[in-house]
Structure 1
Amino acid sequence: MQYKGVLRKMKTELTSQVQYFMEFEDDFIHMNQLLNREVGITFIGYQCLNCGKDKKIYRQGFCYDCFYDTPRAGDWIMKPELSKAHLDEEDRDLEYEKKVQLQPHIVYLANSSNVKVGVTRKSQVPTRWIDQGAHEAIEIVEVPNRYLAGIAEVALKPHISDKTNWRTMLKNEIEDVNLEEKRDELKQYLPDEVQEYFLASNKETEIEFPVLEYPKKLKSLNLDKKPEYKGKLKGIKGQYLIFEDDTVFNVRSNEGYKVNLEVLVD
């Protein structure tokens, strides 16, 4: 079977085990069904997710020009505390920024490689946790806009990490942590304007990933350096494909790359 299209982050569904789906323009692949099968990936070009042109991808699936132009790559995306739509102030496109920023947001704790704090739109729970490879997560604050979530995250950063060690996550070198206790411990550091939104009674969400075998020595596949690769798929975690030879491929980091994906006959 052969598929052709532009890579975008895989769609997910949380069931007893996470279900992964790769969507191309004319094709749809249930990735869980490819486990233990030989898969080939061939890089054939670029397609910017904003302008659609065959231009080298710079960051987040966008070419250089679009990355610095589209509101989908504004600084407030990575730094929610810079959000200004609640003040009616524009960054790149106020209509878009209001649509995204002025909706319920969650501040959460997720345990992927260690417990970290993060921010996401309420509509992206539990998708955001799955994308980060978290095996457990919990909401700690629900606020009406992105700015409040951002200042809450900034206040918590001195007391807890906001980063995931992707290598540790993929090796599954994890330990369970009581996130309810951690949530209660961190409450004292939340800003006053966020305290009323604290979620005192939420329970942890546990997530199981479709992995048959975890890698021991990671080798990251870079399509610019190695445009052709074949290997047996042994797992999917976060937005990574994990292969038998310890090669890992971050689908999200390769958004905007046009590929041929071939499922080889046994």
Structure 2
Amino acid sequence: MKNYIKLANFEINRVSKLFTVLLGITLIVQIVGVIVEARKYLNMANEKMYEEMMSIAEFLEMFNQMSFIQVVRSVWFLGPIALCIAGVAFYIFLIWYRDWFGRNTFVYRLLMLPTSRLTIFFAKITTIMVMTLGFVAFQLILLPIELLIFKGMVPSDFRNDMGVREVVSSMPEISIIIPGSLLELILYYGAGLLAVSILFTGILFERSFKWKGIFAAVLYGAVAVVLFISPLLLQEFVVDHFFYPLELFLLEIVMGLIIFAGSIWTSGFLLKKKITV
């Protein structure tokens, strides 16, 4: 456990610069987006009311009050989120490959540490999850600040006030990133953890067998996906909707746990037996 904590802390420190940069971009771009979108709406309101002599009632009847959803649906808000997701996806590969291709092939020193090689796998997957949850936590902190800026800029007569929960629930793409309940949080990020473990195992296949490993990695990923959706395929094409929704849900969880355990075992085997220093 002590070696795992040290390795996880080491890996988190290695990603801290990238993590900080992405957080800074998210902070600046989203706040600028709130200001730009609010000013755009207010400029339109001024133009209609002062140049075209519309009353407030006429303007609101035609254009409606401004909602924070207009900000959330803009590239100013979704762009940084997409960038953070891309950053995490990129780092899933970088966290392994830079150890091989970096200066002095650092992976050799890493694999020679006096600890189980599987500890390296757990430390790296922990780093990815900490990075992901860190982005989500930062977005949850940032949303109330952005709502305050929005309320400070747009007069009450011209805005439709919403809370953080309403904003999140009204955007399906955001509610996946920021789940509305503990169960959804466990399910969504459990599925993400499973996907990362499969990718890690695929990377280790490639590192173990080179070109043949690429084929093995693709095959492993395909088998994992088929196994995961096998209860759904069984339900649809074999047993004619025999299972109740709750039973099907539990079967999916069980299959996910089996695949996750299989990824851990396979990764451990590859690290111990196939990757040499």
TM-score after normalising by structure 2 = 0.23
TM-score, normalised with respect to structure 1: 0.24
Question: Rg: which structure is higher?
Answer: 2
Structure having the larger proportion of residues in helix: 2
Structure with greater proportional strand content: 1
Structure number with higher relative contact order (C-alpha < 8 Å, ≥ 6 residues apart): 1
